[in-house]
């Protein structure tokens, strides 16, 4: 088992979760945190793949100037309200 050094703030956070939350001990809190990190990373990976798929399929817009983007956003907003 690895031993890690936590900041006082992190240690207090974990202790608070054990005291007030559904966690029976520090190990449960760390496990829940790792599961959340794994879910977040998997979701990010899916979003990156979705973006890459959109680019490959030509589903994107290119803008040359800041005004181009502003005009695009305003036009899309008006179209949605119509």
- Assess if residue 52 is contained within a domain: yes
Give the per-residue pLDDT at 26. Answer: 95
Give the per-residue pLDDT at 17. Answer: 98
- Provide the mean pLDDT of the chain: 96
In the block, tokens 């890690």 appear at 4
State the total domains in the chain. Answer: 1
Which residues constitute the domain of residue 51? 11-81
- Assess if residue 46 is contained within a domain: yes
- Assess if residue 48 is contained within a domain: yes
Q: Does the pLDDT value for residue 35 go beyond 90?
A: yes
* CA distance linking residue 49 with residue 61, whole number of Å: 17
The proportion of the chain whose per-residue pLDDT surpasses 70, expressed as a percent, equals 100
Nearest Cα neighbor of 16 from 4, 6, 2, 1 is 6
In the block, tokens 């979003």 appear at 47
Model confidence over 17-31: pLDDT tens digits? 999 999 999 999 999
- Assess if residue 6 is contained within a domain: no
Sign of CA pseudo-dihedral 65, 66, 67, 73: positive
């Amino acid at each position: 088992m690895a031993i890690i050094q936590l900041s006082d703030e992190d240690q207090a956070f974990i202790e608070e979760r054990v005291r007030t939350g559904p966690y029976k001990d520090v190990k449960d809190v760390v496990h829940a945190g790792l599961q959340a990190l794994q879910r977040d990373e998997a979701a990010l990976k899916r979003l990156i793949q979705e973006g890459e798929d959109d680019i490959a399929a030509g589903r994107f817009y290119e803008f040359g100037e800041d005004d181009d983007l502003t005009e695009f956003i305003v036009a899309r907003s008006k179209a949605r309200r119509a």
